[in-house]
Structure 1
Amino acid sequence: MAPPAKTFTREEVRNHTSEDSLWCVIDHVVYDLTDFVDAHPGGESVLKQIAGQDATSAFYNLHRHEVLSRYEDLAIGTIEGEKPEVITPQPGDLSPVPYAEPLWLTPHFKSPYFKDSHHSLRKAIRIFTDEVVKPEALECEATGRHVSQEVIDKMSKSGVIHMRLGPGKHLHGVNLLNGAVKGEEFDYFHDMVMCQEMTRPMMRGFQDGNLAGMAIGLTAVLNFAREGPWKKKIVDEVFSGRKKLCLAITEAFAGSDVAGLRTTAEKTPDGKHYIVNGTKKWITNGVFCDYFVVGVRTGKALSVVLIERGEGVETKSIKTSYSTTAGTAYITFDNVKVPVENLLGEENKGIHVILSNFNHERWAMACSSIAASRFITEECLKWANQRIVFGKRLIDQPVIRQKLAKMIALVEANQSWLETITYQMCNMPYKQQAIHLAGPIGLLKMSITRVAHEVADEAVQIWGGRGLTQSGMGKYVEIFNRTYKFDAILGGAEEILGDLGVRQAMRNFPKAML
């Protein structure tokens, strides 16, 4: 929104310094703060100090530009002959800050991977995220409220829920963000765009609360449920947003060690049902889900069954480092009766069902984590350019430039590796991906979560006390520093994935090199 067309001289502004008429100038815009003095969060004394003056430097040493958008009604005009200089981003805009966007989105840089449809999808999902998802994310992260049905309905109608599962026949014929991309041409680079753009609200609890359980659980139904009306009913309900679904594998006894799970499923004498008993822990979205894709032990092997919330199913919230909006749950299955038709895949071969989606889940987490590290790097670049310390901007201090250089280099290098892996995913049959990419994706995720560790550490040092504060300018740095570890644990711990990568490499180690 542009400021009012009325203009004033700086001399006129200097005449308004009393409690009855208190004006100031911020970025060439004149603000009447008379009725705002008592409501100012920093107290009235701060405003009295800048009454009648140009408060641009003082303001930007304490606030980010977007704060002004909440007080547009206080703007009464501009300084005669002068225009605002600070850019006000609009929904969908690319950031002009160096290294704030991946190189493929940067003017003058080219990439062989991205086509017009990737750019159109990027713009469409950024607008959708800015206008629909971000306001919801900010509120839910703060209050712990689960994602609203209104927002879920909008995501379903726009095809966002469908795209969260990656490429596949489930996208064919679906209207994706008003035609931003056709479902038939949706590839893993489109998938990357979705993952990275929907990370931008930077509310980590909401990121998982926004149907992350569905994104990693519904694929098991799509790929392994027997064809028929029952499967269609489940898929349609979940894609429509009417029902919620999550993946329930992890237990107190079995995290990365999936083979150690103890939940049991025993067949009834007539062979028509399983009786499921056991517990699951740290299950994302489990608190509010209707369906659970559950790893169970059938005899000495593993199987996977779909369980509907009902008698014998109890869920309790688990409080973690991020908001309860994620719906993280402890689940108890007490003599739950499950029709044998709810088996996903073959009995005693559930490990194939469980492992089948690990590559995509880990890759998606890598996409999101490196995007979050880039966002924090951008925040640090902005802050270093506006914060005045010892009479200089932070960016004028060599030690700060060194920290920023490290962050930029780590983010760019790992984004490039991510794009290389993504290209392989686009050009390698799914079965070969499981053979050739499990190790590289594991190593990639390990590397990217190590980047997050380094970026979080440097960012807090750059931001100081603000980087430890849950409100104000440093809120994104604070929540990133508090929650980046989720990506280092969920989907396979760093150490497990690193070991997987090396073990897979050693299987192909040439004997001639011994």
Structure 2
Amino acid sequence: MAENSLNPVPFSEPPYLRGLPSPYITPAHLRFQKACRKFFWENLIQHAMEWEKSGTVPEYVFDNFCKANMLLPNLPAPLPVDWLKRLGINDILGVKVEDWDYIYTGIYCDEMGRSGLSGPGGSLNAGFAFAIAPLYKFGSQALQEKFLPELLPGHKRACIAITEPEAGSDVANIVTTATKSADGKHYIINGAKKWITNGIWSDYATMAVRTGGPGAAGLSLVVVPLKNYPGVSMRRLKVAGQVTGGTTYIELEDVKVPVENLVGQEGAGMRYVMTNFNHERLVISIGVTRQARVALAAAVSYTMKREAFGKTLMDQPVVRHRLAKAGAELESMWAWVEQILYQLAHLSKEEGDRQLGGLTALAKAKSAMVLNECAQCAVLLFGGNGFTQTGQGELVEAILRDVPGARIPGGSEDVLLDLSVRQLVKIYQAQEKKLSQSSKM
């Protein structure tokens, strides 16, 4: 749907955009939503399918987003206000950077996903969402001075490089090594990173490397130059979905990086990565839920006009039953995402990580399950059209191919299901211990 026209199709919009009361959305949020939707339509949504089919989003699109400060919303809230103001960045589509909260983040991510395709948006936002925050949250002042003036305005691009061919979701077993040179002035990096979104276009990677012994305690984060840098080779990987995301294989052979490019402290990399994952999983959950919404709304619209056996598909009870099951999953998922966004907007970063880390992992896993349910529902109801990469069903066909890209990145589904419960048990045990100690006083 173009710009701000209201889509009346069932399941096509979250409740607050259907005119229903919301405890989370203020008039300021609504103003941003309207401006955000207009910007996305003009600069991304109307061309998304064309670019996905061609395999690459044109480079000028990234530049247009950066000129409008429209990739900064991918950073965790609250934004790095001091740095942004120092760089002359004061607002995002009229929202003061100091007023930015996670509700705005949710609106932004939901609107970016309105095409139903994760690839075009993912080609633009991955560096801002995942690679930059560790630098200003954990990096030294010197490190920030070196990289943030280029990265925050988008003059240079970055990616997050954690996953490896063998380690996958097992971050603690990363084998890419960073060994100090004889004079102690450089890290010499050897190894490989795989499935790195945006890697092929990135000037730098915020990279997880092994500076110490085995396990989590031996990991560190280092900013590694990529483009045309000695010892670095990159190639795009062909993937089933998210075609425009620039999924990349990076090989590193004796790559010489100044020790000043270390993020924070040696050996603290695992903690930095896990903190970063909370934001990554949240924004994935929001975008994935919008994809599910696009797929299900397309199915509802199609079944109301497609006739078979003398009546529309919507007149068939079995079709309504399938739509109802998927719709219940979708609306429940959105309600949960909104709840997490509101909680993050009212908790400190530390308390949010502690209380919501496990639940955010669970929400990310569940959102991908919901997408799978809605995408499969849509493809089945489109019938042969849903199995075809052109014509009426091309969008739902593409969304179904995107499903593994929701279930695997940011931590594979089974890993996150296990992690979420372990985190909840850990919180319970800490609270039980505290109660036990207080009862003895």
The normalised TM-score by structure 1 is: 0.79
Q: CA deviation at 1:144?
A: 1.4
Q: Which residue of 2 aligns with 1:141?
A: 52
Q: Does 1:194 align with 2:101?
A: no
- Three-state SS of the structure 2 residue aligned to 1:446 is helix
Match for 1:373 among 265, 288, 292? Answer: 292
**TM-fit CA distance, 1:356:** 1.6
Aligned mate of 2:220, from 298, 303, 314: 303
Alignment partner, residue 255 of structure 1: 168
Query: Could you tell me which amino acid in structure 2 is paired with residue 127 of structure 1?
Result: K
Partner of 2:8: 96
Query: Which residue, out of 476, 480, 494, partners 2:395?
Result: 476
Q: CA deviation at 1:349?
A: 1.3
Equivalent residue letter for 2:130: I
Q: Provide the residue aligned with 1:8 in structure 2.
A: none
Give the letter for the 2:39 counterpart: F
Match of 2:155?
242
Higher relative contact order (CA 8 A, sep 6+): 2
Alignment partner of 2:392: what SS?
coil
1:205 partnered with 2:119: yes
Asked which structure has the greater CA Rg, the reply is 1
Please give the per-residue CA displacement for 1:347-406, whole angstroms capped at 9, x wherever unaligned.
Answer: 111112211211110011111111111111111111111112122111111111111111
Q: Distance in 1 between matches of 2:264 and 2:9?
A: 48
| 1:124-172: CA deviation from partner (whole Å, max 9, x where unpaired) | 1111111111244223211112x33321122112111111113234355
- Structure 1 residues 471 and 91 mapped into 2: Cα distance closer, same or farther (>3 Å)? same
Do structure 1's residue 344 and structure 2's residue 257 form an aligned pair?
A: no
Question: For residues 367 and 186 of structure 1, what CA distance do their matches in structure 2 show?
Answer: 17
The whole-number CA distance in structure 1 between the counterparts of 2:379 and 2:127 is 30
Deviation at 1:324, TM superposition (A): 4.3
Which residue in 2 is equivalent to 1:271? 184
The corresponding residue for 2:439 is none
SS at match of 2:132: helix
Residue 202 of structure 1: CA displacement? Answer: 2.0
Q: Do 2:134 and 2:272's aligned partners in 1 also have CA atoms closer than 8 Å?
A: yes
Structure 1 position 493, deviation (Å):
1.1
CA offsets per residue over residues 7-36 of structure 1, 9 Å max, x none?
A: xxxxxxxxxxxxxxxxxxxxxxxxxxxxxx
Q: What's the offset of the Cα at 1:118?
A: 1.2
1:385 corresponding residue in structure 2: 304
**1:130 aligned to 2:130?**
no
Asked if structure 1 preserves the Cα contact closer than 8 Å seen for 2:189 and 2:256, the reply is yes
User: Which whole-Å CA distance do the structure 2 matches of 1:238 and 1:152 have between them?
Assistant: 13
Task: Classify the secondary structure of the residue corresponding to 1:211.
Answer: helix
Aligned-pair CA distance for 1:323 = 5.3
Instruction: From the superposition, tell whether residues 142 and 176 of structure 1 become closer, same or farther in structure 2 (CA, over 3 Å).
Output: farther
Query: Are positions 1:485 and 2:395 aligned together?
Result: no
Instruction: Tell me, yes or no, if the aligned pair for 2:180 and 2:187 is still in contact at 8 Å.
Output: yes
Partner SS, residue 304 of structure 1? strand
Checking the alignment, whether the CA contact within 8 Å between 1:195 and 1:367 is kept in structure 2 is yes
Give, in whole Å, the separation in 2 of the partners of 1:149 and 1:316: 18
AA in 2 matched with 1:196:
D
1:209-228 pair list within 5 angstroms: 209-228=123-142
Contact map agreement 1:142 1:323 (CA 8 A) in 2 = no
Q: CA deviation at 1:98?
A: 2.6
Contact 2:177 2:190 in 1 (8 A): yes
Q: How do 1:7-406 and structure 2 match up within 5 A?
A: 89-107=1-19, 109-145=20-56, 147-171=57-81, 173=85, 174-179=89-94, 181-228=95-142, 231-300=144-213, 301-309=218-226, 310-322=229-241, 324-406=243-325
1:439 pairs with 2:358: yes
Determine helix, strand or coil for the equivalent of 1:296: strand
In 2 relative to 1, CA 484–323 (structure 1 residues): closer, same or farther, beyond 3 Å? closer
1:451 corresponds to which of 364, 370, 373: 370
Which residue number corresponds to residue 80 of structure 1? Answer: none
Take 2:313 and 2:157, find their aligned partners in 1: how far apart are those partners?
A: 47
- The question of whether the paired residues in 1 share the 8 Å contact of 2:117 and 2:291 is answered with no
**Matched positions, count:** 421
CA contact (8 A) 2:117 2:402 kept: no
Alpha-carbon deviation of 1:325? 2.3
Letter in 1 for 2:360: I
Partner of 1:463: 382
2:412 & 2:285 partners in 1: Cα distance? Answer: 13
Structure 1 range deviating more: 200-209 or 373-382: 200-209
Q: Which moved more, 1:234-243 or 1:476-485?
A: 234-243
Give the Cα separation in 2 of the matches to 1:431 and 1:101. 32
Deviation at 1:185, TM superposition (A): 1.2
The TM-score, its normalising length taken from structure 2, stands at 0.91
Question: Does the CA contact (< 8 Å) of 2:163 and 2:194 recur in 1?
Answer: yes
1:208-243 deviations in Å (ceiling 9; x for gaps) = 222323321111112122113x52352232233221
Contact 1:214 1:247 in 2 (8 A): no
Q: Does 1:502 align with 2:415?
A: no
Root-mean-square deviation over aligned CA pairs:
1.9
Amino acid at match of 2:128: M
**How far apart are the structure 1 equivalents of 2:152 and 2:173?**
32
Pairwise CA distance, 1:505: 2.1
CA distance in structure 1 between the partners assigned to 2:98 and 2:47 by the alignment: 30
Distance 2:410 2:365 in 1: 11
Verify the 8 A CA contact 1:221 1:231 in the aligned structure 2. yes
Contact 1:125/1:177, CA 8 A, preserved across alignment? no
Alignment check: 8 A CA contact 1:362 1:441 kept: yes
Provide the rounded CA distance (Å) in 2 between the counterparts of 1:90 and 1:287.
Answer: 31
8 A contact 1:252–1:281 mirrored in 2: yes
Judging changes above 3 Å, is the alpha-carbon distance between structure 1 residues 92 and 177 closer, same or farther for their aligned structure 2 residues?
A: farther
Equivalent-residue separation in structure 1 for 2:198 and 2:244 (angstroms): 8
Partner-residue secondary structure (3-state), 1:357: helix
Q: Is the 8 A contact 1:380 1:462 kept in 2?
A: yes
Q: Aligned letter for 1:286?
A: G
Q: Contact 2:78–2:102 (CA<8 Å) still a contact in 1?
A: no
Distance 2:243 2:285 in 1: 23
- Partners of 1:381 and 1:485 in 2: CA distance: 23
Aligned to 1:69: none
C-alpha distance in 2, partners of 1:325/1:100? 24
Q: Show structure 1 runs of 5+ residues with no match.
A: 1-88
